[in-house]
Amino acid sequence: MVSWFGARRWLRLCSGVRRLDATFLARRYAPRHPHFSSHRGIIPRKALAGKDQEGLRIVDAMRFDSVDEVSHSGFQGFVPISALQASNCRELPDVPGVYLVLRPIKTRPVFLRQSTGGHFKSKNPTVAINELKNSWAEESVVVYIGKAGGTGMKASLRSRLIQYMRFGQGKAVGHWGGRYIWQLCHSGSLVVCWKSTPSADPRVVEKGLLQEFKATYGRRPFANRRG
C-alpha cells in the first residue's frame, strides 16, 4: 500500500508533471525526534565490529519498504531528482555521508531501451532490459544506496550528487555507479535522501546498509552492482 504519495499524484507525474514539491517533501520527512537527528549514524551492529562507535545510534535492522521507514532511520532531504538537477544540488550539505535513491511508488517499473546517462570514457551506460528486470527488488522503495567521502577521499554529499545528477543529464562525468536508475521511465521523479556521517567512515555505513538490504531481499538494491 502506498502510504504517502497516492496513486493519483503518481499518475499526474507520469503524465508529464516531473517535479514534486521539494519543500513539502523536506518538511514531511524531516527528522522530528532527537534520536533521529542528523549527527547520529545508522549502521547495523554486524557492520560495526572493531569500528569507532562513539556518537552512533546502532540499530539491528533498517526497513527499506516505505519512505516513512527510511525517514524514521534518520535520513533527510527527500528531494526529487528533477529538483536537484535544476538547483545543482544546493539542497545537499557539503559533508561526507550516505544517500539513497527512492522510487516511492511500488507499481511495476517501465524501463527505457536507452539510458539517459553520459558516455563516460566512451562507455555506453545502457544495459539490456532483461538485466534491468532481473535486478529489480520487489517491495523496496530503495533503488540505490551510495556514499560520498571517506578515508582519504575529499568528496562530499553535494559534490558527489552533482556528479550523479550531471551524469543522468547525459554529461560524460565519473559516476558510473548507480547508472541503472537512468533507464527508469520518469527518473526525474525519483527522490533522493541523505544522512551525514561525521563519526563514521561513509563506506562502513554504506556497507552496513547494503548488507541489511541483502539480508532482507536476497539481493542488492536495483542500481547497486557491487558491495
Supply the range of the domain harboring residue 96: 7-217
Q: Is residue 226 part of a domain?
A: no
In a domain, 223, yes or no: no
Q: Residue 102, class by beta-carbon neighbours within 10 Å (0-12 exposed, 13-18 middle, 19+ buried)? A: buried
As for how many domains the chain has, the answer is 1
Quote the cell numbers at residue 27.
Answer: 518538511
Question: Mean pLDDT of all residues in the chain?
Answer: 81
Measured CA to CA, the distance from residue 114 to residue 102 in angstroms comes to 21
Backbone angles phi, psi at 192, to 5 degrees: -110, 135
Q: What is the pTM of this model?
A: 0.77
pLDDT in tens, 110-169: 999 999 999 988 899 999 999 999 999 999 999 999 999 988 788 999 999 999 999 999
- At residue 121, the pLDDT reads 87
Question: Could you tell me if residue 41 is inside a domain?
Answer: yes
- Spatial contact of 36 and 73, defined as CB atoms under 8 Å apart: yes
DSSP 45: G
Lowest mean pLDDT among 1-10, 31-40, 108-117, 120-129: 31-40
